[in-house]
Amino acid sequence: MDKEDLISVIVPCYNIEKYVSRCIESIMNQTYKDLEIIAVNDGSTDRTGEILDEMAKKDGRLLVRHFDNQGPSAARNRGLDLMTGSYVMCIDGDDFVDSSMIAKMYEKLEQTRVSMAACNFWLYYGEGNKKVGNPNTDQMDDMPSEMAIELLFDSSKKFCTPWGKLYRKELWDGLRYPENVQFGEDMLIAPLLFDRAKKICFLSDAYYYYNQEGESLVRSDFNINKLCMITACKYWVEFCNKKYPRIQEKAKWCYWERMINICTFLTDVKYTKEYKEYQFIIRENVQGILRSKIRYVDKVKALFIAYFDQATYKKIRMVLRK
């Protein structure tokens, strides 16, 4: 096997016995064969680890490593530490991919000579039920870093995800996911990768199947760990202020918008401290929020949050939802 063409595929796995075979098989069945598949079992308590071990016996390209549960950031980092390929991609263990995905992305990356390739994706709800994740998105061979970072501010694009991308390994030199962050870790690492890449190619065809079946941390009900998204958005503002001042204002709008909508989930009394903290920030910036280009409905929410206490805002929301 030519090491120059070896691609490492990192698959973090945790309690996904229902989906893991589908995922690994979709990687094994790639038309591009020079693969190193690193499945990181992150302390699963179901049969995920057993299934992976059995699959590894049938294909020597599959390397399985078992660790205590430390979360998806740690699992991806273990994979990054183990990889030996010249290129690397991450695929979540409950998702799966088109058989031509790696070949298409590798071909485009080599053709354009950039450091990162990204592709469109399917939102997969079950057999025969899917829709494209980023409709009406044009292919680009040389998307500059600034444009890629600006796409982060549109949550519907899901451009900051670890999956759906092929990287030259050098992009990861000295760079790893923060393991003390339980949610939104990809939001912290994406701008650094985009900045390093300088240019990114984007394939408008959808090759990645982003699974919407069952439950995941992303699709679960609100929990306190999701406040990490606010920290990440604040980091985007600071990062753009230093390196990309042209889009710093848009980063600020994203920060405010995420905070306003998170407050919608903080009306329970157990989140009083967090609500008051964000209420203060929103009140301090209310004039800027009203002049910004965020949605009108979010501006209205901002006014309610800024000038009403937690209990009153909860009552207002209940009335408006009727």
CB atoms within 10 A of CB 305: 26
**pLDDT at residue 143, rounded to an integer:** 95
Give the model's confidence band at 224: pLDDT under 50 very low, under 70 low, under 90 confident, else very high. Answer: confident
**Number of H helices and number of E strands within the chain?**
12, 10
Q: Max CA-CA distance within the chain?
A: 65
Task: Record the tokens describing residue 263, joined without a space.
Answer: 């407050």
Q: How far apart are CA 47 and CA 179, in angstroms?
A: 25
**Whole-angstrom distance, CA of residue 94 vs CA of residue 16:** 6
Question: Does residue 4 surpass a pLDDT of 60?
Answer: no
DSSP β-ladder status, 116-126 and 199-211 = parallel
Quote the percentage of the chain above a pLDDT of 70. Answer: 96
Host H or E run for residue 56: helix 48-56
Least confident piece of the model among 35-39, 112-116, 124-128, 205-209: 124-128
The pLDDT tens digits of the residues spanning 25-53 come to 999 999 999 999 999 999 999 999 999 99
Per-residue pLDDT of 120-154, as tens digits, reads: 999 999 988 999 999 878 899 999 999 999 999 98
CA 203 to chain CA centroid, Å, is 17
Question: What's the rounded mean pLDDT across residues 180-195?
Answer: 91
Beta strands in 185-311, from DSSP E residues, in sequence order = 199-211
Buried b (16+ CB within 10 A) or exposed e, 93-105: bbbbbbbebbbbb
Of residues 218, 299, 191, the one with CA closest to residue 253: 299
Scan for tokens 């994979």, then name that residue: 79
pLDDT of 219 higher than 90: no
Tens of pLDDT, residue by residue over 228-263, are: 999 999 999 999 999 999 999 999 999 999 999 999
2 band by pLDDT with thresholds 50, 70 and 90: very low
Give the pLDDT confidence score for residue 252 in this predicted structure. Answer: 97
**Does position 1 have pLDDT exceeding 60, yes or no?**
no
For helices 185-197 and 228-243, the axis angle rounded to 10 degrees is 20
In the block, tokens 């405010």 appear at 256
Q: Report the alpha-carbon distance of residue 4 to residue 6 in Å, rounded.
A: 6
Q: What is the mean pLDDT of the chain?
A: 93
Question: pLDDT tens digits for 249-305?
Answer: 999 999 999 999 999 899 988 999 999 999 999 999 999 999 999 999 999 999 999
Task: For residues 105-122, give the mean pLDDT.
Answer: 96
| Residues in contact with 318: Cβ distance below 8 Å, sequence separation at least 6, in sequence order | none
For the segment 103-113, the average pLDDT, to the nearest whole number, is: 95
- Categorize the per-residue pLDDT at 221 as very low, low, confident or very high, splitting at 50, 70 and 90: low
**Single pTM value for the model:** 0.91
